[in-house]
Amino acid sequence: MPLALKVYQAFDREPIAELPADDAAALERKLQAAAKAFADRDGWLPAHQRMSILRKASALLQENRDRFAMMIAREGGKPLTDAIIEVTRGIDGLVNAADELRNFGGKEIPMGLTAASANRWAFTTKEPIGVVAAISAFNHPLNLIIHQIAPAIAVGCPVIVKPAATTPISCIEIVKLFWEAGLDERWCQTLITEDNSLAEAFATDRRVAFLSFIGSAKVGWYLKSKLPPGTRCALEHGGAAPVIVDRSANVDAIVGTIVKGGYYHAGQVCVSAQRLFVHEDILDSFTEALATKVAALHVGDPKLAQTEVGPLILPREADRVTSWIKEATDAGTKQIGGGRMSETTLLPSVLLNPPTEAKVSMLEVFGPLTCVFGYRDLDDAIRIANSLPYAFQASVFSTDIAVALRAAKHLDASAVLVNDHTAFRTDWMPFAGRRQSGYGVGGIPWTMEEMAEDKMVVFNQVT
């Protein structure tokens, strides 16, 4: 009997589709096709064709914007307004990858600096690294895929992408648009499976030159440990992003931005604002304003335009977040808001000063929750913010330049956002987790560099 993958709406668990799933034989066929395409160097697509395909795919995605946005809302649970923004970013990201090729090249290596190097001319060129295995996550089921496959297509790597089992349709449909744009199927394929053993075999196959993994740290670091010698990788995980709110901050002006950073996509974002360190001088006014904004968030069906907070991806995730909140409240932590709307949908909540050893203080919640901690000394807040074994993006809100600069210097983060939330991102900026939060650098131009290798050519003048 053929394998099948059932896809459900995140909000109400209603079935969307039953898709054919891949088995080991299908994986082997796809790896063979990709490896064969790469081995034929005469068949590599020239840059102008890759640019044309990326631009055509972008135009096709623009034509299908609303269809993709609705699918993201259905299978991923992201509110429709935010899903439209995700598709819009994807449209631009494809053009970004094409445009980057205008400046994607090598450089001259100086010769003649010693007698031994005289009469030589040397330069580097860029070559694709090889077959790319991309494993993606559910929370941005279109744009994360684009961040993995657009750089591969741009530099000329065959790519096979495995979407999250909960959100495969957006992936399948964007790959179809690439084919419609003129890309031979061998250069961009999907692997549809919920079989973890098959996914591991895919990621660690000797024919894979580069693994792009977005997902849990436990799985990502495990796969990295299993890679064959010579295989390169990039890992993107998460954290518990810290936000420092200085006493000079204008509470009314910033609270909406912080709420967006903490409750966007129900907190299912790897850099979601989670730990809010607020100066004691404004702690009460900030907490009151935060609670008011959070209580006003419209929670419900993500397909509706007015919805601001939708469901978690699975019932077990709602159960997990609920249990973590209970652990904190059982220890005496005050909770503002909260509750459960449905099997997968939690009402947003705020926890005030949970214990440092509580899961909500130590681990990535990935749910509609922020934790507020009061502080008196800035350096103490920074020390606690830096105390976890992972680090990604961080924020500081302040109108005092000295405070902003000190926080920017001392926060352990790959990016410090000043007067903006931790979830801010553009698709052309570097995006990377530190320590346990990741390995390598994301962002379309940066991933293109990771998926390419320099080759040096040296000419010796024969006289």
C-beta neighbour count of 114 within 10 angstroms: 7
Give 284's DSSP letter.
H
Q: What is the pLDDT of residues 290-315, one digit of tens each?
A: 999 999 999 999 999 999 999 999 99
| Mean pLDDT for the stretch of residues 278-300 | 97
pLDDT of residue 459: 95
pLDDT of residue 3: 84
- C-alpha neighbours within 13 Å on the C-beta side of residue 131: 23
Residue 229 in this model has a pLDDT that exceeds 90:
yes
Residues in the chain: 463
Catalytic pick among 86, 100, 236, 364:
236
Task: For the chain, give every domain's residue range.
Answer: 4-237+437-460, 241-426
Q: Identity (one letter) of the amino acid at 116?
A: A
Q: What is the pLDDT of residues 87-130, one digit of tens each?
A: 999 999 999 999 999 999 999 999 999 999 999 999 999 999 99
pLDDT of residue 422: 93
Q: Which fold has domain 241-426?
A: Aldehyde Dehydrogenase; Chain A, domain 2 (3.40.309)
Catalytic pick among 157, 171, 233, 270:
270
C-beta neighbour count of 119 within 10 angstroms: 12
Please tell me if the domain spanning 4-237+437-460 has the same topology as the one spanning 241-426.
Answer: no
Rounded to the nearest 10 degrees, how much is the dihedral formed by the CA atoms of 317, 313, 175, 235? -30
pTM confidence score = 0.93
* pLDDT over 90 percentage in the chain: 92
Closest to 417 measured CA to CA, from 263, 260, 279: 260
Tokens representing 8?
Answer: 């459900």
CATH code for the domain defined by 4-237+437-460: 3.40.605.10
Q: Residue 435 forms beta bridges with which residues? A: 390
| 371 is a catalytic site residue | no
Rounded CA-CA distance 423/234 in Å is 20
